[in-house]
Amino acid sequence: MEIKPQLCQVQDALSILGGKWKPMILLFLMLEGTMRYRDLKQALPGITPKMLTSQLRELEQEELISRKVYPQVPPKVEYSITAYGMTLRPILDAMHAWSVEHMARKAARVAQG
Amino acid sequence: MEIKPQLCQVQDALSILGGKWKPMILLFLMLEGTMRYRDLKQALPGITPKMLTSQLRELEQEELISRKVYPQVPPKVEYSITAYGMTLRPILDAMHAWSVEHMARKAARVAQG
DNA sequence: CGGTATCCGTGCAGATACTG
DNA sequence: CAGTATCTGCACGGATACCG
């Protein structure tokens, strides 16, 4: 059987979802449509402002999310998923489905050491 | 709209596919069924023996692949995907499909800097 | 409110050499 | 053939403090 080199392109998708918080950020924005900075910070327990900003900037640069600044005091910034970002949904759904399906197995492995 | 905490389980799938070479190893084994150590090494250009071994060991520990040793000289070791490993296929397929679909966009971004 | 700036530890991954 | 062993670096992520 011949292996098609194309198959190695899987790396591309992985590099985009690679950041520790990126999948969750994308998921939240997919579901909420729009969230402010502090909403995301609350939704992601334990994330530092530096990490949140860097992850958001990277996703924005990939054009997966968009950033809208309201020029007012106090500042207001809204993040939302783009149409392009939405194309990642099948991947996230597949990962989510798998994780839910196999949580029991993982729990058993942890229990037995 | 309510966010379901379950959705954050996406991290589990990601941690399993996280290694740099793991997705490709899994893909090759899914397609070939069985491969020897040196076949994998050849199939993964640039991988060092240390990395290949460590990635294989981790996948084996997760029971995603199985390792069969033939006690002979010179040694012969075969790796193959398990039924459990096969359950990851939808994720890898989704990632592959997305990557193929969006290679053009990536190429354009690289071209323009 | 929505970020920056700075410092720091660790873990992943590569290079190289050696072995049963 | 199928690995180990050892050394190395640097990107990733975290902690903390500060700013327009």
CATH assignment of the domain containing A38? 1.10.10.10
- Smallest CA–CA separation between B105 and chain A, in Å? 10
Q: Is the pLDDT of residue B8 over 90?
A: no
Among the listed ranges A89-98, B6-15, B45-54, which one has the minimum average pLDDT value? Answer: B6-15
B26 lies in a domain? yes
Average of per-residue pLDDT values in chain A: 91
> If pLDDT is split at 50, 70 and 90, which confidence band does B103 have?
confident
- What CA–CA distance (Å, rounded) separates A88 from B98? 7
- What CA–CA distance (Å, rounded) separates A95 from A103? 12
- Smallest CA–CA separation between A92 and chain B, in Å? 7
A97 lies in a domain? yes
Among the listed ranges A8-22, A58-72, B19-33, which one has the minimum average pLDDT value? Answer: A8-22
Q: How many domains does chain A have?
A: 1
Residue B41 neighbours by CB under 8 Å, 6+ apart: B47, B49, B52
Residues B56-96 pLDDT 10s: 999 999 999 999 999 999 999 999 999 999 999 999 999 99
Q: Taking residues A96-112, what's their average pLDDT?
A: 80
Write out the two tokens for B74.
Answer: 């010179």
> If pLDDT is split at 50, 70 and 90, which confidence band does A81 have?
very high
> If pLDDT is split at 50, 70 and 90, which confidence band does A103 have?
confident
Q: Is the pLDDT of residue A112 over 80?
A: no
Among the listed ranges A94-103, B31-40, B99-108, which one has the minimum average pLDDT value? Answer: B99-108
What is the sign of the dihedral through the CA atoms of A46, A50, A51 and A52?
positive
Chain B residues within an 8 Å CB radius of A34? none
B3 lies in a domain? no
Q: Is the pLDDT of residue B113 over 80?
A: no
Q: Taking residues A12-39, what's their average pLDDT?
A: 94
A55 lies in a domain? yes
The answer to whether A84 contacts B95, with C-beta atoms less than 8 Å apart, is no
- A21 in Cβ contact with A52 (< 8 Å): yes
Q: Nearest nucleotide, C1' to the C-alpha of B46?
A: C14
Is B75 (CB) below 7 Å from strand C? yes
B98 lies in a domain? yes
Chain A residues within an 8 Å CB radius of B90? 94, 97-98
Q: Nearest nucleotide, C1' to the C-alpha of A52?
A: C3
Q: Taking an 8 Å Cβ-Cβ cutoff, which residues of chain B contact chain A?
A: 1, 3, 6-14, 17, 23-24, 27-28, 31-32, 43, 84, 87-88, 90-103, 105-106
Q: Which bases of strand D sit closer than 7 A to a protein CB? A: 1-6, 12-17, 20
What is the span of the domain harbouring residue B50?
8-112
- What percent of the residues of chain A are helix, what percent strand, and what percent coil, each to the nearest 5? 65, 15, 25
Q: Nearest nucleotide, C1' to the C-alpha of A58?
A: D12
A61 lies in a domain? yes
pLDDT for position A3: 63
A51 lies in a domain? yes
The answer to whether A92 contacts B24, with C-beta atoms less than 8 Å apart, is no
B95 lies in a domain? yes
- Smallest CA–CA separation between B57 and chain A, in Å? 16
Residues A41-76 pLDDT 10s: 999 999 999 999 999 999 999 999 999 999 999 999
